[in-house]
Structure 1
């Protein structure tokens, strides 16, 4: 490259120094004897013109090569730039994943994919233990719970009749500067008047009544002289027009932090009627309630071991109702308790994996028309009961672990319980407040 430039400079210098136009005009008028000199000069000029043409050709070729080189270098630059960007992007993504892993206490997608995880389909369920559990616990508790329910309904009616003398809430029960009832204000008012109502009728009963949870509106504890305790919830509600749906101040297991004027809507009456609707069509002595009682028992026992989670008995009840809507009645015989129990647990596990468990009534067109669920409820958008698990990653991880531990401990918990009953141990009533 440097040699070519030097050659160009030398040729141009020779052309400048020897070009005839640079001489004065008078020098162009030469004598005849100098014709030989003129001829040599012309010959030299032609050589210079040929050399200049050759030089211009070489310069043109050189320029073309330089353009190609620059083009190749340009493409190369773009290629390496793109490759560098891809590498940089990959590194950044890896760093982001690493940083996210450091922030998250657990990878939520791996909760059910770990090698030691338990699946309801593969978990060990001893048929004899299940049968013994149903025979010794479920049937006994069913009879006892019927007697308890009868007593509670009578006592609640008596208490509320006495309470009605004073059911005129004033503007002090509303949120400040609004016409809307405040849940907390209503709860305080309700507790005061339930206490007064109990004072009026306490002479008729041989037990004591106390509030077992001051944060819940009607969480009452009845203690008999024998030491037996019955827990009940009387909750103030507001009826939705002329339907069997009610706005409730607090659910028994209410843990949400919704604003005070917002009352959750309860469809407990419709859900109870739906369960009765199924019961009429299921085989005699069907296993659907056994499944619900067993799952509720396992959940309560696991909660005692590892603490509370987002799962509640209401979620298990919802799963059971979904299965009752989708499976033939003949599949719910007592001999199928093991299979249906696995179905309930599988339904819950799949719902946890998807973080989605739809309300049984809202937006569900499979619900029989005989229940007369309001049309606005049937046509509404489905509500996800596991929405909190989508929003709270740590809560989801803890709930998934709770469920896994419950599956892992199920056989031991059932066997221990039936052994206590067989040996005359203390009877632990199954929770049916779902």
Structure 2
């Protein structure tokens, strides 16, 4: 009890002693200048606030920079992803385009799938309105037109060929008799080519085209260089070659006229009349070659051939009761027999050089060349497949049904083109293009598709193939680079493996010629029904009515 009371008293005394109001002097720890302390504390507080604001701004800046860096990194990643995706799509597109181009190279030289694989009761769906609007006369009218205007007009073709061949045999034999075997070119037997010998000649008068191969005197020989292989071949020079004159023993080019005594009236074909043979290894003046070159010159060959034919005709002229004249001065061998009655019979003797042991021939000039052709260098010779074309048509005809319509289609198309050319003038489309289109169709179509009763369908298909080729400006040569040609044809391997040759390439470079050709082609399609009906006026009445108006020619 006493201890508890003592503790209470002790607490009270301690509280009284420590109270500031009772003992102020002993508790004077707070400074008298309180305002100064408060001011300093406020200043320190403001300083702390400013520092806090600075730190907050610094933190905000660092956060903003971090976010900006993260955004830039994200955008860069997106761009990289986009670029990678674009590169992937570009690669895929390039692969697709290459696959399409390869497919076109393999399939575009033939008719479209709807033409070949569709129902035989349906005509191919043309790709443009003009041909879709073409309505050919009925089968009876078309057949009557062919029998009356084409077959009847070419009935005397065999007799014409026989007459021309007999005369040419005599003319070439006279030419050989005038030549010196030691110094002159040796002329071989002629070869009949083109429409008259392929049985689809339409134009009148009937025209025979004859190749006349020639070879040089010994010890020389011709060395053909296919595709001008000694240099890079420009696109417009594909299908050409050069002919080099070399010695058979491999020595330098020389002439033997200095070793042989020539007659007073004899002229060496390799030298001029006053030329002197140079010693081996010297520069030589070659009249049949380009100046300063060992390659044959087409102009020199043309002059030699015309002079040789003139001399041969003068030797045998007394045996015949007609005259012989040149038809076209710029075409070698373009001849014309003129009868006393006023009639005439043209034919072409074309000097050619055989390419090795094949049926390919280098031609100096082609008669009836289509307009727009650029002038070729005089040392470039055109490679002709005329003999192969004749062989292919003959081989194909054996596999087709009897009375097949393939040549009939070609004859009708050629007839329409000939009439159109007389109306609007010649264009870039020629009979050779028509024949090339037919050869492509023959290779793609089944044999049973060429029966005589399908003449109208095959004719429509041929015209559609030409229209498609014109619109695409692409018509591949039938033999060059065409791996579908049967191996039995015996084409040289270099020809089979060559790049395809586009016969319509001039249309890409010559827009005016292309526009004229397209306009002329569509005009021909427009006039075709009326033209065929005009030449078929004597069709029996039960074969159908005729259009009320025909085109004037």
- CA apart distance, 1:220: 1.9
* More off after superposition, 301-310 vs 199-208: 199-208
Number of residues paired by the alignment? 353
Task: Confirm whether residue 373 of structure 1 aligns to residue 491 of structure 2.
Answer: yes
> Counterpart in 2 of 1:134?
146
Residue in structure 2 matching 1:342, options 445, 451, 460: 460
* More off after superposition, 284-293 vs 359-368: 359-368
- CA apart distance, 1:282: 2.3
Match runs of 1:225-304 below 5 Å:
225-254=340-369, 255-304=373-422
> Counterpart in 1 of 2:277?
none
Residue in structure 1 matching 2:299, options 174, 178, 184: 184
> Counterpart in 1 of 2:169?
157
- CA apart distance, 1:299: 0.7
**Is the 1:358–1:385 contact (alpha carbons within 8 Å) kept by the matching residues of 2?**
yes
> Counterpart in 2 of 1:413?
531
Q: 1:151 to 1:121 in 2, by over 3 A?
A: farther
Report the secondary structure of 1:232's partner residue: strand
**Is the 1:120–1:342 contact (alpha carbons within 8 Å) kept by the matching residues of 2?**
no
Task: Confirm whether residue 332 of structure 1 aligns to residue 450 of structure 2.
Answer: yes
Residue in structure 2 matching 1:394, options 512, 518, 532: 512
> Counterpart in 2 of 1:382?
500
> Counterpart in 1 of 2:208?
none
Cα distance between partner residues in 1 of 2:346 and 2:536: 24
Cα distance between partner residues in 2 of 1:229 and 1:359: 34
Q: Which has the larger radius of gyration?
A: 2
Task: Confirm whether residue 316 of structure 1 aligns to residue 434 of structure 2.
Answer: yes
Task: Confirm whether residue 209 of structure 1 aligns to residue 324 of structure 2.
Answer: yes
Task: Confirm whether residue 224 of structure 1 aligns to residue 339 of structure 2.
Answer: yes
> Counterpart in 2 of 1:429?
none
Report the secondary structure of 2:153's partner residue: helix
> Counterpart in 2 of 1:40?
38
**Is the 2:326–2:336 contact (alpha carbons within 8 Å) kept by the matching residues of 1?**
yes
Cα distance between partner residues in 1 of 2:319 and 2:47: 135
> Counterpart in 2 of 1:143?
155
- CA apart distance, 1:296: 0.6
- CA apart distance, 1:149: 1.7
Q: 1:234 to 1:128 in 2, by over 3 A?
A: same
* More off after superposition, 316-325 vs 252-261: 252-261
**Is the 1:238–1:248 contact (alpha carbons within 8 Å) kept by the matching residues of 2?**
yes
- CA apart distance, 1:341: 0.9
Q: 1:131 to 1:294 in 2, by over 3 A?
A: same
Cα distance between partner residues in 1 of 2:536 and 2:160: 22
> Counterpart in 1 of 2:13?
none
Cα distance between partner residues in 1 of 2:132 and 2:342: 39
TM-score, with length taken from structure 1: 0.72
Cα distance between partner residues in 1 of 2:316 and 2:403: 40
> Counterpart in 1 of 2:75?
none
- CA apart distance, 1:261: 0.6
Cα distance between partner residues in 1 of 2:396 and 2:153: 21
**Is the 2:414–2:434 contact (alpha carbons within 8 Å) kept by the matching residues of 1?**
yes
**Is the 1:362–1:378 contact (alpha carbons within 8 Å) kept by the matching residues of 2?**
yes
Cα distance between partner residues in 2 of 1:211 and 1:225: 17
> Counterpart in 2 of 1:88?
none
- CA apart distance, 1:244: 1.6
In structure 1, list runs of 5 or more residues that go unmatched.
1-31, 75-111, 423-434
**Is the 2:144–2:539 contact (alpha carbons within 8 Å) kept by the matching residues of 1?**
no
Cα distance between partner residues in 2 of 1:181 and 1:62: 90
- CA apart distance, 1:202: 2.0
**Is the 2:323–2:339 contact (alpha carbons within 8 Å) kept by the matching residues of 1?**
yes
- CA apart distance, 1:290: 1.3
- CA apart distance, 1:317: 0.8
**Larger helix fraction of residues:** 1
After superposition, the C-alpha distances for 1:104-143 in whole angstroms (9 at most, x for unaligned) are: xxxxxxxx977xx411684333333311211112222332
Question: RMSD of the alignment, in Å?
Answer: 3.3
**Is the 2:474–2:502 contact (alpha carbons within 8 Å) kept by the matching residues of 1?**
yes
Cα distance between partner residues in 2 of 1:124 and 1:269: 33
Cα distance between partner residues in 2 of 1:365 and 1:69: 66
Report the secondary structure of 1:270's partner residue: helix
Cα distance between partner residues in 1 of 2:539 and 2:287: 52
Q: 1:149 to 1:134 in 2, by over 3 A?
A: same
TM-score, with length taken from structure 2: 0.58
Match runs of 1:346-357 below 5 Å:
346-357=464-475
Cα distance between partner residues in 2 of 1:34 and 1:402: 122
Q: 1:303 to 1:310 in 2, by over 3 A?
A: same
